[in-house]
Structures are given as C-alpha cells and as structure tokens.
Amino acid sequence: MPEEKRKSAHQLTEAIMKAVKLMRLSAFIAAIAAGLSSWTALNVYRGEQERIDYEKLRFAHTTYHAYVEYRRQRTTNTLKCTEAFTRKKPGTDAFIITDDDVRGILLSDRGEIPFAYSKDRHAGLIECVDKPEVKGLFVKDHLDEKEVRQLLDAIDEKLAWAISTLDGALIGYFHDLGDKVTICENFSGFIMTGRDQVGYGIPGVYLQRLAKIDLIREENYPNLHKFLFDIATVTNNFTGKVNCTAQIPVLYPVKPKLSQIRDWSVQQFHEWFW
C-alpha cells in the first residue's frame, strides 16, 4: 500500500510538472504570436503612414501645378500694381494710398465706400490698368464719375480672382490635406517676390495690409489668412528669409515617424503613442 501511494504521488508530481511545462510552452507560443501580431500591426501602421505622406505630397504638387498654370495663363503681371499699394511716404510709416482708398478700390463693385481720386496720391495706380484709354486718365487733375468708374473697373479687371485663386490653392495648408513644408516652400516664393529688390515681399506686404483692414479675414479667405500669418511670423513681416524645413515644424510640431524612433525609453514611447 505505501508503494502504491508513492507511485501515485510520483505520477501526480509528473503530471503537475508536465502541466507547468505545457503552460510555459503555451505562454511562449502566445508571446511569439503577440510579437508577430505587433510587428505586423506596426508595419501596417508604417505603411499607412507612408501612404498618407505620399498623398499629402501629391496633393501639394497638384495644387501648386494648378496655381502655376493659372498664373501662366494670366495676360498681365500684377506685381507692379500690388507694389503701388505698399509704397509709403518718404520718411514716414504712412502708406501713400490710404486705407480708405484701398477699401474704395477693392470694394468698388459694392458701392459702399466712395473713392476720391487724387492725381498725385494715385499716380502709382497706373500700374494697375492695361487699357491705353484708361492710362490716359492719370494725366488729368480731376475725374468725373464716369471716368472714376472706368478706372476702378480697370483695376478690378487687373486684380480679379487673384486672391480667391490663391486662397483656394492653399486649402491643403489650412486643413492639413497637403504637406505643410512642401506647400510653404513653393507658395512662399510668390509671397516673398521682390524682397531682394525692395527689402520686403511685395505680395506678402500687400496681402497683409488687406488683412489688417479686414478685407482678408478668416471667415472669407481662411486658407490665405492662415498662410499669411505663418509666413509673416517666420520672416519678420516678409522682410527676412524663409526656411520652411526648419521653421514650419516649429509652428506645427508633429509626432516622429516609426522609422525615426531609436532607443526610446518606455516613457518616451508611451508619450509618442498617446
């Protein structure tokens, strides 16, 4: 009887040991499966991340190409015209063309603000008209109502759709549909045109002026409004150089990609993941 008890105890011990070994094996297999699942999930995530990056680059390229094509097809250049709105009186910080002038010109189709023509103050606006008969008006000391209408219509024809088109082209920047750095690198060139010649980006200062008198607002041109603010911030109001690669990530910090993670601690990974 004691011998049978010893055999039973030995068999029980062996069974327990086998169970423990099987449990360990199962846990090991489960750990391998979990590791493989995690590795697969991370690769899927990495692939999706790379696909999103590619789509953003493609979106940026498509919108930029469309905008360049729009500018190529325009029959007139607007740089000299917009520069007229940025010139200041010598020795002062006051614009030659006043804020009321700007409102009267750009809101002329609404008839809300009267435009009082001045031969000396508005001489630079000759760059904003193309028709010879309208250019001839600038030699006159005074313009009648019909002549003022001709002048304002000619300026509107010169500048028409320029702001709306640029705002539409920048939708990917505002809504993060395109790569911000790439969009900045391409479109900031237009905004900063003239910096090397006159010391500031002429279109940038012109558009910033429109923003300061509420003609460009977040509710009517949200994409351009945001882009202007950012470029003005990194260039000291369009007087400095743009370095989109270095400056835009400072304005819009992004989580590092999986391929950039090296030797992180658990805490660092936890902060990145969440």
What pLDDT, on the 0 to 100 scale, is given for residue 53?
A: 83
| Domain endpoint, select from 159, 190, 210 | 159
In a shared domain, residues 166 and 271:
yes
In a shared domain, residues 138 and 59:
no
> What secondary structure letter does DSSP report for 104?
H
In a shared domain, residues 57 and 185:
yes
Give 217-237 pLDDT, tens digit per residue: 999 999 999 999 999 999 999
Give 184-197 pLDDT, tens digit per residue: 999 999 999 999 99
Structural domain tally of the chain? 2
Strand partners, 26: none
Token pair 């904003």 is found at 128
Give 64-81 pLDDT, tens digit per residue: 999 999 988 887 889 999
In a shared domain, residues 190 and 67:
yes
In a shared domain, residues 101 and 233:
no
CA angle (84, 204, 74) in 5-degree steps: 70
In a shared domain, residues 64 and 114:
no
> pLDDT band at residue 272, thresholds of 50, 70 and 90?
low
Give 122-170 pLDDT, tens digit per residue: 999 999 999 999 999 999 999 999 999 999 999 999 998 899 999 999 9
In a shared domain, residues 52 and 90:
no
In a shared domain, residues 49 and 182:
yes
Give the structural domain span for 153. Answer: 76-159
The Cα-based distances of 69 to 66, 72, 193, 242 in angstroms read 5, 5, 18, 24
| Domain endpoint, select from 137, 159, 181 | 159
In a shared domain, residues 55 and 128:
no
In 3D space, the residue among 54, 77, 84, 58 whose CA is nearest the CA of residue 190 turns out to be 77
What pLDDT, on the 0 to 100 scale, is given for residue 65?
A: 92
What pLDDT, on the 0 to 100 scale, is given for residue 22?
A: 73
What pLDDT, on the 0 to 100 scale, is given for residue 270?
A: 53
In a shared domain, residues 174 and 51:
yes
In a shared domain, residues 121 and 246:
no
The answer for residues whose C-beta is within 8 angstroms of residue 148's C-beta and 6 or more apart is 115, 117
How big is the chain, counted in residues?
274
In a shared domain, residues 120 and 41:
no
Q: What percent of the chain has pLDDT over 70?
A: 81
Amino acid identity for residue 44 in this structure? V
| Domain endpoint, select from 159, 191, 211 | 159
Does 14 have pLDDT greater than 90?
A: no
Mean pLDDT of 92-116: 89
Does 42 have pLDDT greater than 70?
A: no
What pLDDT, on the 0 to 100 scale, is given for residue 4?
A: 60
